[in-house]
Amino acid sequence: MAKNLLVSTLVGLRGNPRACVYTEPLWGLSMNLCLPYASVYMLALGLKDVDVGFIASVCMMVQVIFGLLGGVITDKMGRRKTTAVFDFIAWSIPCLIWMRAQNFWFFLAAALFNGVLKVTQNSWDCLLVEDAEKEEITKIYSLVIVCGQLSALFAPISSILVSRLTLVPAIRILYINAFIIMTVKIFLLYRFSRETRTGMIRREATRGQSIFSLLAGYGGVFKIIGSSKGTVFSLVIAALVGAVQMVNTTFWQVIVSRKLLVPDPLLPLFPMFRSVLAIAFLFLVVPRLSRFTLRTPLLFGFAAYIAGQSLLVSAPPEGLIRYGILAVSLCFDAFGSGTLLMLAESLVALHVNRAERARVMAIQHMIIMFATSPFGWIGGILSGYNRAFPFMLNIVLLSAGIVVTLLYYRGNRETQGS
């Protein structure tokens, strides 16, 4: 049955895809316990909305730089070693800084380390899919999204800590927990993975070459990307989805806490609800769309996300009705974000040049981050005027996604998987 496709894929995973997917829930048990409070934690320590947005944009700009370097580093060090080293730099070290944070400068320093994550995103993506069959890639990325969402089931831990200890002490504890579990995840993935076949070839090919000489070869990589309409389309979709996710992740808890006046201990419960719904959609709905081209789920995803964001900005700041509207909003958000995140990652991976995966994906990630980076700062400025404005911006971006999708598929009568 269609609804069992992901279960069959999960059970049948072997090698690096298995190591990557099976360790992914540890990401959720660490960082995703902190993320529902990340922005309000900054506000509680004296930062303003525009500061929060500025730090998000700085982190994105660092990602642009390391997005460019990521392909070269991944080729020279290998997918497996790069993932271990740069995961520690991008996540374990910032967790310690966030735990000790006192003011703007702590968060800025953490953002500089955290921005290195683009290196490990590149190497981890290569580790995940380079030895996988092409027809399995979309299902594998669906499983990755599911594993990340499973952490929401542990959201009550955050709520209990905040209600008992108040916001700042509780989040400091959660960041210590994130440091420990992320470090364990890094070790386990390194232990149970192996270098990919393409990784071994690229490591030999780049042996003895400097990073600068390898960077000089990126001119050909830009030509590879520009010559593929599918690759350009995947980049536009990924950039739009990335910008929306950046605004939503940074300012969702701000509007819910400061405009809709939802008590702090309840904040993690809403992402938990959204994550459970996203898992259900990915298992029960997305596989049923597999008989269509990716056009259909893309359009459904954008439309659902627009509905969710529209309901969020229309919710009143008082009364029980706000909780009902938030719940319905999250239903649409769950389907929209879950579907679009999976499809954006899949589109990039499906259209990449296999022999030059690391360098092409590095350039792709750099372009996506460069296009996305201003939206944290823009969202912060908008939120300073009205905390609903960032989500109105999201509605505009999602509407642009619908237009781009319709235009692409009108001119490209392509088959499933494209």
pLDDT of residue 239: 86
Question: How far apart, in whole angstroms, are the C-alpha atoms of residue 258 and residue 254?
Answer: 6
Record the tokens describing residue 21, joined without a space: 């997917």
> Does residue 261 sit within a domain?
yes
> Does residue 27 sit within a domain?
yes
> Does residue 347 sit within a domain?
yes
Domain count of the chain?
1
> Does residue 202 sit within a domain?
yes
pLDDT of residue 415: 43
Low-confidence ranges of the chain (pLDDT < 50): 1-3, 414-417
> Does residue 2 sit within a domain?
no
Question: How far apart, in whole angstroms, are the C-alpha atoms of residue 40 and residue 33?
Answer: 14
pLDDT of residue 3: 45
CATH number of 99's domain: 1.20.1250.20
Record the tokens describing residue 219, joined without a space: 């001119």
Per the structure, the complete domain to which residue 315 belongs is given by 16-411
First vs last Cα of the chain: how many Å apart?
23
The structure tokens 């683009």 sit at 118
pLDDT of residue 306: 94
pLDDT of residue 282: 66
pTM of the model: 0.69
Tens digits of per-residue pLDDT, 134-154? Answer: 767 777 877 777 777 676 677
pLDDT of residue 145: 74
> Does residue 118 sit within a domain?
yes
pLDDT of residue 29: 80
> Does residue 249 sit within a domain?
yes
pLDDT of residue 412: 66
Record the tokens describing residue 323, joined without a space: 């909780």
> Does residue 184 sit within a domain?
yes
pLDDT of residue 350: 65
